[in-house]
Structure 1
């Protein structure tokens, strides 16, 4: 960001150094002119790398991602488990929620996404395309935050309440604003020509505004499906409109990539603090899924693919540290930060079609397109044989270190589409394959698990929540940071009232009606 600000200041100095008339002389010497602003959008460009790199957090190659997501959503999704018994094994994995960890996503997202987006919005008339992109990045980042906590500061960000703190919105109000902002972004960006000097800071689509519009429509579809249980009629209207607007398809990927930008999971891998979760072993092994060897490394112990069950008693890191890590195919140091894939969108459309909504194809067709898109993304080849498999199902989990952690598979779902099966069975089929395809994006996988209950994950064996989180139901949310009670007490207490339950990990979010 410093680089772009320095360039902006240098350019500003040049524009104010040469003046030919009295009007220009009387302009404030340090205020950028509208003409100069329109020519290069100098200051606005500085905000975009910050916003893009802060969604899947690695702004400036910082170390915040482990606290932002890896030690909460990545675990709760079933994707990964730390072999490390942090804080005497009383930590997020065993539902002893750590306030110092869980405040990160709340604070950093407000600072690194909402604040720069607010700055861009002040110049929406001068740079409408920039404003449209900022709205998309704002939603892409902040929907993850509301889906962790519930009510959050959003529509009134930048204002202060009577106590001097930030006012909160209900999650329903936040979602309503998301849909408005995505619609605005689509209208500003669809079919608009690229602006050449934006491409240098566009680390996702290199200045292609049509791709930004497709990403916006895809996010709208994702969020429409999220509210499909609590507001089905509204979700139907929104989902059909999103699909009609044009969403990610084929080999489309929404990902952040820039010279020198490192994948934050690569550092965590070097620490061996995130290994394969037991549900991944159970489902991928049981399905004989070729993505198993693409996603993970074999165990150093015996060459097998071995995952760790979440919420077990771990005495030392040495016990499980030689189990399967994540392959560099997925989280290599120079790999892009993946936010959304065409495969996910096909599965979203498949679920919409299963609901009887207009989705552009049948549920079966979209389901199979989603699987093939995931295979294509990872170089796994033709998926036709895999898709025809009507017998393979998730496998029982066996812990070679401690038989007390062994557990039977939680589902008998198979791969091949079954037109004779109930809608609920085929919904589980769609959601299970979607879960596989979204790896390693644990935030979205955790949200969809809470919304649907799929795929069926293993319950924790050790639960230190003092009865606030049900082991079978699983964790529902992250509590608000304690600092909010100290500096913004009235607002956070009002947020808890909007939440409709106690501020702990067992209270359902607005859209989680199961």
Structure 2
């Protein structure tokens, strides 16, 4: 990692004081001032643009969900979820070879997701709430959607988080159980959907937020679809631990007149717009830092299925091959895996929040569960694949009917001891073609495996779905440096609470330990991860 993450004191207590934030980055580069100035913070001149200034706070919220600065993104997501999802792996022997990739969790990295979310998401949401609740409820509705999009990623990393009482006074904020946080998410999405529907009905075609919208250009009808789609995602997330609530929320989202994201034209991607520019952070970590590459599971599934998305996602190495790296392999130098494949993206590629293919796979699982999803599990599953292919601008006349191809064996670039041969329990036997006579679990594995392939490169969502369902089948780490706190074959389930919270919000984070289903380590399962898989 080419920059070192060392943020100054930040606790939820500070957020509640309504003070301005400076999230400091200590870097070994000579661009210290540049890296310590957030050019997307609301300035006095920006605050004057819309009269009240509430729109200006939406820009850092959009850029903060998946942090658009490379050094923050690397520790916020890339060195945890992106790797744990099976999508990616680093060939850099960080921290003397003991690091997140082999469960030797680095505390200074793992505080980042928490410490970045509160100033970029929660504090900006609070500013919009104070300014726009009465004056511009449509702006507040979008802020609620962004808040849920950003904070569901956070709770899905740590579990309990300070949420419901945020901004309601006091010098510290109590942590809420993940169940309570999810219940609040559903309430907030309902508020947002109703508010935007009211606005659209009264002002058809109006786009007052256009100057601040990096996703939909101010089109509130698309924000309604995004909110319903997000609601469906969260409903399916809790389907195994709270099926009653999940069914109610999922069917409400699928049947809402505002609709879902069902075409790629409605995909939620953050793009450079309105004078706001940024470098795609995943591109930076891959091409500028050279710290991340294709992961072995993604290589093996795409190759095994003869998947046409392989060249759309990745580039061949100097030998004309697509090669990945297995998680947790011992790495002594960056040269070991220098021939691993890079990603097929550019510095201006937009940042993904949600795409239509995911929605079809969510609906396919809902149909598999017998819920009212507007189609059969098979038809929705196949539509999900076709929509993902369309998004990648690829096609195949044989893919959907392939009942033979399975995940390919893994051949390591460095050592044969890291290989995963044919017949290994760490390789999936699932095929692409739908089989109505198959077992429930095989059908679910098919849906989630194809959903996982279509989620690229959103490692946050892919890691969450793997933990929830145990699919797709992934390869365990070769070296486990967790000192017994994380099961090698059980995989990492969460990140420990922020070390900065133990320092700055000690009483509340200590109380939060009682909300966990075990000790504060990477082996403890989250609330929605507790149910027997079904």
TM-score by length of 1: 0.90
CA distance in 2, matches of 1:463, 1:228: 31
Question: What is the root-mean-square deviation in Å for CA atoms of aligned residues?
Answer: 1.5
Q: Deviations over 1:129-181 (max 9, x none)?
A: 001000000000000000000000101112465xx422111100000000000
CA distance in 1, matches of 2:236, 2:42: 38
Q: Deviations over 1:461-493 (max 9, x none)?
A: 100000000000100000011121122111111
Q: What is the deviation of 1:4?
A: 6.0
Q: What is the deviation of 1:7?
A: 3.2
2:353 to 339, 351, 355: 339
User: Paired residue for 1:36?
Assistant: none
Q: Deviations over 1:65-94 (max 9, x none)?
A: 001000000000000000001011100001
Does the CA contact (< 8 Å) of 2:47 and 2:56 recur in 1? no
1:175 is the counterpart of 2:182 = yes
SS at match of 1:63: helix
Q: What is the deviation of 1:384?
A: 4.1
CA distance in 2, matches of 1:403, 1:471: 20
The equivalences for 1:389-468 within 5 A come to 389-407=402-420, 408=424, 409-468=426-485
Decide whether aligned partners of structure 1 residues 6 and 387 sit closer, same or farther in structure 2, where only a CA change above 3 A counts: same
User: Paired residue for 2:223?
Assistant: 212
2:121 to 113, 120, 125: 113
Does the CA contact (< 8 Å) of 1:275 and 1:323 recur in 2? yes
User: Paired residue for 2:159?
Assistant: 150
Does the CA contact (< 8 Å) of 1:284 and 1:394 recur in 2? yes
Q: Deviations over 1:46-76 (max 9, x none)?
A: 1011000101111xx4531001000000000
User: Paired residue for 2:4?
Assistant: none
CA distance in 1, matches of 2:450, 2:161: 31
SS at match of 2:113: helix
Q: Deviations over 1:371-398 (max 9, x none)?
A: 00000001012x4421011110001111
The equivalences for 1:281-320 within 5 A come to 281-300=299-318, 302-320=319-337
Q: Deviations over 1:97-142 (max 9, x none)?
A: 1111011110110110001101111231111100100000000000
TM-score by length of 2: 0.87
Does the CA contact (< 8 Å) of 1:296 and 1:325 recur in 2? yes
Identify unmatched segments of 5+ residues in structure 2.
Answer: 1-38
User: Paired residue for 2:22?
Assistant: none
CA distance in 2, matches of 1:323, 1:216: 37
User: Paired residue for 1:475?
Assistant: 492
Does the CA contact (< 8 Å) of 1:4 and 1:45 recur in 2? no
User: Paired residue for 1:24?
Assistant: none
User: Paired residue for 2:144?
Assistant: 135
1:188 to 189, 192, 195: 195
Does the CA contact (< 8 Å) of 1:272 and 1:321 recur in 2? no
Decide whether aligned partners of structure 1 residues 170 and 324 sit closer, same or farther in structure 2, where only a CA change above 3 A counts: same
SS at match of 1:64: helix
CA distance in 2, matches of 1:283, 1:324: 15
1:256 is the counterpart of 2:267 = no
Q: Deviations over 1:19-64 (max 9, x none)?
A: xxxxxxxxxxxxxxxxxxxxx3540111011000101111xx4531
Q: What is the deviation of 1:5?
A: 3.3
CA distance in 1, matches of 2:133, 2:474: 45
